[in-house]
Amino acid sequence: MNIEQSKETSKIEDVVIIGSGPAAHTAAIYAGRAALTPLMFEGLFASGVAAGGQLTTTTEIENFPGFLDISVPELMTKMRDQAAHWGTKIFTETVDSIDVSQSPFTVVSDSQTVKTKTIIIATGATAQRLGLPGEETYWQKGISACAVCDGALPIFRNKPMVVIGGGDTAAEEATFLTKFASTVHLLVRRGEMRASKAMQQRVFDNKKIKIHWNTEATEAVGEKLLTGVSVINSKTKETQTITASGLFYAIGHTPNTTFLDNQLELDSTGYIITKNGTPETSIPGVFACGDVQDKVYRQAITAAGSGCQAALLAERFIG
Amino acid sequence: MNIEQSKETSKIEDVVIIGSGPAAHTAAIYAGRAALTPLMFEGLFASGVAAGGQLTTTTEIENFPGFLDISVPELMTKMRDQAAHWGTKIFTETVDSIDVSQSPFTVVSDSQTVKTKTIIIATGATAQRLGLPGEETYWQKGISACAVCDGALPIFRNKPMVVIGGGDTAAEEATFLTKFASTVHLLVRRGEMRASKAMQQRVFDNKKIKIHWNTEATEAVGEKLLTGVSVINSKTKETQTITASGLFYAIGHTPNTTFLDNQLELDSTGYIITKNGTPETSIPGVFACGDVQDKVYRQAITAAGSGCQAALLAERFIG
């Protein structure tokens, strides 16, 4: 280690925030106002997502309280500016690894190694996609990965929609979308659903939902907006194009936790396990907020709320 | 019961929201976008607080993500408009009682009785005040009940401040304020603190905190802004005026839950008990969000996050 490096690592930060979405920025605003001068690693297209987080895969947001309708880049710029205003030092670098085996903790990015008393992890989760032909073209022009966020949009009102998936989320989203859709076509890859019996029954009982068993999507088709989804029955090899204004992916999310190298307790699907709805992880001084620890709500406002909690707990932890 | 009344009660609502702060309005926005046409009872100066909730006892807010600095009336008007935009029917009436002993539940206000499948309680908590001479005059001109909210304001920077209280909150707030204050005078009514030993030790170890035992405030004094706090030592009867730019009350909050008549599980201080950080109460279909169930964070953004959760759970409960 040369002298410059050893100097660099001799400073111990109060808090390092990893992430760039509503959870990360809210944590930064609160940590900053508590005079902790937080460092934030917002990532450089980390996990394939732009700074601003998972929210940036949509264009408008109508359900963040205080904003009747705002573009996502505008909302995220406001939050980022607010974090910076309160003294957050933002690095557009992706964190490669952390070491929480001893205190102070270590955070390593491409260009630097930082020692810190606390870490707030807000790296989010990425909705899985199928990579269908037409998917990029019609993303947010009919295709979405969040029924709660986008189901109420006028383009879907009384129109047929397609949901892909066989788990609880797919069952929930299909049921939810029947409030808006004329018909919901549920594409299930196998001859049965993985969803709980209760959720399945809810789907079976809903006359607006038509289940397509053993069916996979092959293409998203449309003009300016999505108009339909081409599918194939994997048993009969029959193909058809289902007319639809909406296509909702409910095939799961991938929490962005591989860089943790299993140093924190994760559940079987890779989400960080937190304690009783607080942002506390299995390591005291390391907090997790937003979608990286939430597979139930996944909303910008719930992420922001948990970011505030993480910052207040970090402040108390430092004392 | 006359015919008109019986007609009125034959309709069963999906969700009734009780409250008017960030939790209530976020719940309304989400319930509205899920096509539940929520009813909201925002109260008529309920628990002595204007519609908008506890937040209305302050004037500006700097830590709600997305707003660098906004007046509270403006923020709450935006949220209320957004709730109304998504179909919320708002009544400026206080709820007198609810009956959750059978489903559908009943909500009774001054002028109406409503049947509903779910209830979201977001009635908040009210910070206790002392009713000192000068308190009204200097409220938000130096006097506050939230160190996390207001401690970072420029008027307090490097100035002496006074904190009143002897519990954990007082210890936490006094410690927190030393980041900004030149000195923090902690007024403790008795000869000892109620705070936990660990929190007390933190206070004793902090050289910026001066504890005044057996001391009570008698008056808030000032000019345009607060300049000091007059106190009396209850043992020696000595009086003095402590120079201070800030006076923070940390003498507790009263959750607004008396109208529940103990039909939900409450803790020993009257807060609604929720399950593992979710808004679920002891009665399925009744949800609680915001400060009425939170004595740890008490922030507008955490309240809003829990309001969203309550609405999503109510939506799933109805199915």
B146 belongs to the catalytic site? yes
pLDDT band at B2 (very low <50, low <70, confident <90, very high): very low
For the cut 70, the answer to whether the pLDDT of residue A134 exceeds it is yes
For the cut 80, the answer to whether the pLDDT of residue A280 exceeds it is yes
**What positions of A carry a catalytic annotation?**
146, 149-150
Chain A nearest CA to B270, separation (Å): 20
pLDDT band at A9 (very low <50, low <70, confident <90, very high): low
Among the listed residues A139, A58, A105, the one whose alpha carbon sits nearest the alpha carbon of residue A264: A105
This model of the complex carries an ipTM of 0.92
Q: Which token pair is A276? A: 């009783």
What confidence tens digit (pLDDT) does each residue in B41-84 have?
999 888 777 888 888 888 889 999 999 999 999 999 999 999 99
Chain mean pLDDT for chain B: 94
Domain B8-126+253-318 has CATH 3.30.70.270: no
Cβ-Cβ contacts under 8 Å for B176 (sequence gap 6 or more) = A34, A315, B147, B148, B151
Helices (H), A34-188: 72-85, 135-138, 147-150, 168-177
B190 touches chain A (CB under 8 A): no
Report the pLDDT averaged over residues A80-102: 97
> What residues in B contact A179, CB-CB < 8 Å?
34-35
Of the residues B69, B96, B149, B289, only one is catalytic, namely: B149
Cβ(A62)–Cβ(A38) under 8 Å?
Answer: no
pLDDT at position A57: 79
Helices (H), B69-144: 72-85, 135-138
Of B53 and A112, the one with more pLDDT: A112
> What residues in A contact B307, CB-CB < 8 Å?
65, 301
What confidence tens digit (pLDDT) does each residue in A72-89 have?
999 999 999 999 999 999
DSSP string, B266-288: B-TTSPBP-STTSSB-SSTTEEE
pLDDT at position A2: 45
| CATH 3.50.50.60 placement within chain A | 8-126+253-318, 129-249
What confidence tens digit (pLDDT) does each residue in B96-147 have?
999 999 999 999 998 999 999 999 999 999 999 999 999 999 999 999 999 9
What confidence tens digit (pLDDT) does each residue in B267-313 have?
999 999 999 889 999 999 999 999 999 999 999 999 999 999 999 99
Radius of gyration of chain A (CA): 21
Q: Which token pair is A129? A: 């996609």
What confidence tens digit (pLDDT) does each residue in B192-249 have?
999 999 899 999 999 999 999 999 999 999 999 999 999 999 999 999 999 999 999 9
- What is the rounded CA–CA span in Å between residue B14 and residue B16? 7
Cβ(B29)–Cβ(B15) under 8 Å?
Answer: no
Do A304 and B301 make contact, defined as CB atoms within 8 angstroms? Answer: yes
- Out of 3.50.50.60, 3.30.460.10, 1.10.1750.10, 3.40.390.30, the CATH code matching B129-249 is 3.50.50.60
